[in-house]
Every structure is written in C-alpha cells, then in structure tokens.
C-alpha cells in the first residue's frame, strides 16, 4: 500500500469532504431536521436560563452525539440500500440497529435536557 504522506492540502480537502457530509445530512435527511430543530430549541433555552459552562458542555455533547449518530445511521442506510436494493433480513437488522442507536442517543440527550432544564423551569415558574 502506497503512503502518500501528510500534506496540508490533503487535510484541508478532507475537511471539505466532511463539511459536505454535514451539508448533505442537513439538506437531505428529514430526521436530521427534527434533531436540528430540537437543538435550536435547547440552545435557546440554554441562553434563556443562563445555564453554566458545565451544563453547556453536556448540552453540546448531547447535540453533537445525536447528530453524529444520525449521520452514521444515514450512511449505513445509504450503503445498505446500494448493496442490497431488494429486501434482505440482514440489511433490515443492520438498519434497525443503526436507527436504534440514534434513538438511544436521543433518549440520553433528552435525559440530559431534563436534568438541566427541569430544575430551572421549576425555579423560574415556582412550580
């Protein structure tokens, strides 16, 4: 295997590909739209309630994890559809587990949001 070595030009090109992947995720994947909408709402709530820097770290990791999981899921689905356009039980299992991974991350992100925001809402509204 030929090693072409490290060059700044190649690294910058790899970032171009990565940013294109983010663009395609947001432009074409409907579930990513839902995650982005939720992220905007959470960021707005964080600004409104003045969450701490530690809370921002948790929120940012939660948002990033869900979007990354959605990107991986979308990639797996696209590749699986190319490899096996017809129904295939193994492909179905793979796609279902990838979708399940996104759901697990979304539930974990929701739990982070509840832990951070419910006490702030209780304090703000004297519930």
Give me 54's structure tokens.
Answer: 């530690």
Q: What angle do CA 28, 32, 37 make, to 5 degrees?
A: 120
29, 55, 70, 89: which one is catalytic? 70
Distance (Å, rounded) from C-alpha 61 to C-alpha 55? 10
Distance (Å, rounded) from C-alpha 60 to C-alpha 46? 11
Residue 70 is among the residues annotated as catalytic for this protein: yes
Tell me which residues are annotated as active site: 70
């Amino acid at each position: 295997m030929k090693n072409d070595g490290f060059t700044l030009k190649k690294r910058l090109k790899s970032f171009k590909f990565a940013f294109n992947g983010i663009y395609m995720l947001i432009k074409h994947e409907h579930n990513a739209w839902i995650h982005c909408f939720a992220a905007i709402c959470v960021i707005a709530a964080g600004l409104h309630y003045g969450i701490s820097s530690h809370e921002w770290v948790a929120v940012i990791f939660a948002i990033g994890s869900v979007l990354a999981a959605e990107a991986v899921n979308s990639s797996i689905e696209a590749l699986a559809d190319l490899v096996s356009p017809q129904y295939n039980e193994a492909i179905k299992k793979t796609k279902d587990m990838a979708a399940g991974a996104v759901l697990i991350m979304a539930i974990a992100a929701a739990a982070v949001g509840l832990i951070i925001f419910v006490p702030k809402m209780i304090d703000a509204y004297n519930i």
